[in-house]
Structure 1
Amino acid sequence: MKIKITGIGSYIPEKRISNTDFSNHTFLNEDGTPFGYANEVVIKKFKGITGIEHRRYAEDQYNSSDLAFFASQKAIENAAIDPETIDYIIFAHNFGDVKCGTIQSDMLPSLATRVKNKLQIKNPKCVAYDILFGCPGWIEGVLQANAFIKSGMAKRCLVIGSETLSRVVDDHDRDSMIYSDGAGASIIEASDDESGLLSYESATYAMDEANYLFFGKSYNPDLDPDTRYIKMHGRKIYEFALSNVPTAMKSCLEKSGLAIDDVKKILIHQANEKMDEAIIQRFYKLYDKAVPKDIMPMSIHDLGNSSVATVPTLFDLLVNNQIKDQKINKGDILLFASVGAGMNINAFVYRY
């Protein structure tokens, strides 16, 4: 038995923030000292490294669970199912609902429970829970759905990835320009044909790598040091990803029994354009192969890094032919992969 994605949906906020919107920000070094150059230089360097030109922020009245609800509605409609037949709602996020203008995370009740309530699912045997797995959370949710369905515990799961990172960033940290908001949702069911999940890989590195992403104080020493924001050791994450993600992808592909030339598209977490390109180059180098043209669809240029939402949103855009010069066909082999806080890495091979 295999599982497959029978419905996909996403919610991309309409609020579009351009790089130039950061021109008047006061960016500081970690020690609170100002940069020795203008914001225009900061923004130019940022664009060259990340590839990001724009990102999306959630509308003020919406929280992460709202974005997830909108994406879930689309996935349910796309799958043409009765939501009362969903056995599990698995919601991947990192920071809960953070209301606009506040600093406190709200996860009571769970965001999965909130989505179930918004969907008005009456069935008490539809179990709703959240997972915290960093940016690879949606992929991990798919792997959990796979386990539930294969074990007979479920027939149908709703797996969601949603985040409002714009509400947990330090405005004085230039890394804040990376993050964005959005949601992606998917219906997962057993596959009765050749399509579906063929193999997977998942791992947590927590000895030296556990705190590469963390909550820390603002770089502005005048702000409350007890108010925390998302922070990262960017260089360490970059080096970790380049060393470990390609080998995890290779291990995953080998488990599927397929060859590297069978892979038609790689859907990788939209973290940083240069990092993603380097990961793909290292991956193909393991096979002494050149990277094929158009193998890696990208959405980061316009949507930024929305953490758990990037991969399902990317898949939704790809399925609906909304990424320029990118297309998938029935039977194509796709490789999904992600890396993030934990440090966690996961991947799965999928026949579309």
Structure 2
Amino acid sequence: MTVKITGIGSYIPEVKVSNTDFFKHVFLNDDGTPFEYSNDVVIGKFKNITGIEERRYVNENLVTSDIAFLAAERAIANAGIDAEKIDYIIFAHNFGDVPQGTNQSDFLPSLATRVKNRLRIKNPKCVAYDLIFGCPGWIEGVLQANAFIKSGMAKCCLVIGAETLSRVVDIHDRDSMIYSDGAGASIIEASEDGDGILSHSSATYSYDEANYLFFGKSFNTEKDPDTRYIKMQGRKIYEFALVNVPQAMKDCLDESGIAIDDVKKILIHQANEKMDEAIVARFYKLYGKTAPENIMPMSINFLGNSSVATVPTLFDLIINGQIENHELHKGDVIIFASVGAGMNVNAIVYRY
């Protein structure tokens, strides 16, 4: 028996925010001093490194659990199942519901419970809980669903990754341009045809790396220092990812018994275009090979980095023919991989 994704759905917010929308922002250094160069230079460098041209933000009336519910509805419909048969709802996020105009995260009740309520699931044995695992949260949720199903604890799980990062960014930090909002959801069930999860790898590096991503005060020293925003040590994350993500992918692929030449696509967390390209290049270098062209579909250029939502959203878009020059066929072997706050790393080798 294998475990596979039998339904997929996503919600892409309607509000498009282009790089030009940041031209009038007041970007500051971490000590509160202004940059020595203009915003067009800042934004030009940003585009060259990240690949991002625009990102999506939710409408003012929506919060994370709302868009998660919309993605979940689509995944359930795609799987063609009755929601009452779901045994677990695993909701990966990092900041809870943050209403527009506030900076307070709302986790009570859990976001998974809120989605279950919105889905009108009556079955009390459908267990709903939240998973805080940084950007790799959706993949980790899939791994937990895999364990539940293989152990006999569940037959069907709903795994969601959703975030509204636009509500927790410091507008004076140029890194705020990276982040976006979105939701992806999946139905996970057992399979007897050999498709699905073939192997997986997961790890947390926290001895020296725990605070590479953190909540910190605004770069604007006139703002309340007790109001916190998402912050990152970009260079350290880049260096960490280049060492640890390719190795996790290799460990996972070696365990699966699949040859690297048989991998058709790599769906990696949409964090930074240059970083993702370097990770995949390093992965192939571990086998003494060069990465094939068109191996890595990307959505970051028009969707930005929506954290836990990037991988399931990318998967959904590919399946529905919305990523140009990328498609999947039954039997194709793909790799899911991610890295993020924790610092956490994970990967899955998957037969579609």
Q: TM-score, normalised by structure 2?
A: 1.00
Residue number in structure 2 paired with 1:193:
193
SS of match in other structure, 2:42: helix
Q: Are residues 1:226 and 2:196 paired?
A: no
Residue number in structure 2 paired with 1:168:
168
**In the aligned structure 1, how far is the partner of 2:261 from the partner of 2:151?**
32
**In the aligned structure 2, how far is the partner of 1:41 from the partner of 1:314?**
30
* Shift, 1:159, TM fit: 0.1
SS of match in other structure, 1:55: strand
Kindly provide the amino acid, as one letter, of the partner of residue 237 in structure 1. Answer: I
Kindly provide the amino acid, as one letter, of the partner of residue 22 in structure 1. Answer: F
Q: How does 1:290-305 map to 2 (within 5 A)?
A: 290-305=290-305
**In the aligned structure 1, how far is the partner of 2:278 from the partner of 2:46?**
17
Q: Are residues 1:74 and 2:74 paired?
A: yes
**In the aligned structure 1, how far is the partner of 2:191 from the partner of 2:197?**
9
Q: How does 1:7-156 map to 2 (within 5 A)?
A: 7-156=7-156
In the TM superposition, what whole-angstrom CA distance separates every residue of 1:193-226 from its partner, at most 9, and x where no partner exists? 0211000000000000000000000000000000
**In the aligned structure 1, how far is the partner of 2:229 from the partner of 2:10?**
26
**In the aligned structure 1, how far is the partner of 2:194 from the partner of 2:215?**
44
SS of match in other structure, 1:7: strand
Kindly provide the amino acid, as one letter, of the partner of residue 158 in structure 1. Answer: L
Kindly provide the amino acid, as one letter, of the partner of residue 325 in structure 1. Answer: N
Q: Which runs of 5+ in 1 are unaligned?
A: none
Residue number in structure 1 paired with 2:248:
248
**In the aligned structure 2, how far is the partner of 1:43 from the partner of 1:85?**
48
Q: How does 1:194-209 map to 2 (within 5 A)?
A: 194-209=194-209
Q: Which runs of 5+ in 2 are unaligned?
A: none
In the TM superposition, what whole-angstrom CA distance separates every residue of 1:257-285 from its partner, at most 9, and x where no partner exists? 11100100000000000000000000000
Residue number in structure 2 paired with 1:335:
335
* Shift, 1:293, TM fit: 1.0
In the TM superposition, what whole-angstrom CA distance separates every residue of 1:141-169 from its partner, at most 9, and x where no partner exists? 00000000000000000000000000000
Residue number in structure 2 paired with 1:347:
347
Kindly provide the amino acid, as one letter, of the partner of residue 34 in structure 1. Answer: P
Q: Are residues 1:322 and 2:322 paired?
A: yes
**In the aligned structure 2, how far is the partner of 1:208 from the partner of 1:290?**
31
SS of match in other structure, 2:49: helix
**In the aligned structure 2, how far is the partner of 1:291 from the partner of 1:21?**
35
**In the aligned structure 1, how far is the partner of 2:227 from the partner of 2:102?**
11
SS of match in other structure, 2:128: strand
**In the aligned structure 2, how far is the partner of 1:67 from the partner of 1:165?**
13
**In the aligned structure 1, how far is the partner of 2:324 from the partner of 2:185?**
22
Identical positions, percent: 76
Kindly provide the amino acid, as one letter, of the partner of residue 57 in structure 1. Answer: Y
* Shift, 1:7, TM fit: 0.1
Residue number in structure 1 paired with 2:272:
272
**In the aligned structure 1, how far is the partner of 2:143 from the partner of 2:172?**
37
Moved segments of 4+, more than 2 Å: none
**In the aligned structure 2, how far is the partner of 1:18 from the partner of 1:351?**
36
Q: Quote the RMSD (CA, aligned, Å).
A: 0.4
**In the aligned structure 1, how far is the partner of 2:32 from the partner of 2:149?**
51
How many residue pairs match? The answer is 352
SS of match in other structure, 1:171: coil
**In the aligned structure 2, how far is the partner of 1:76 from the partner of 1:293?**
34
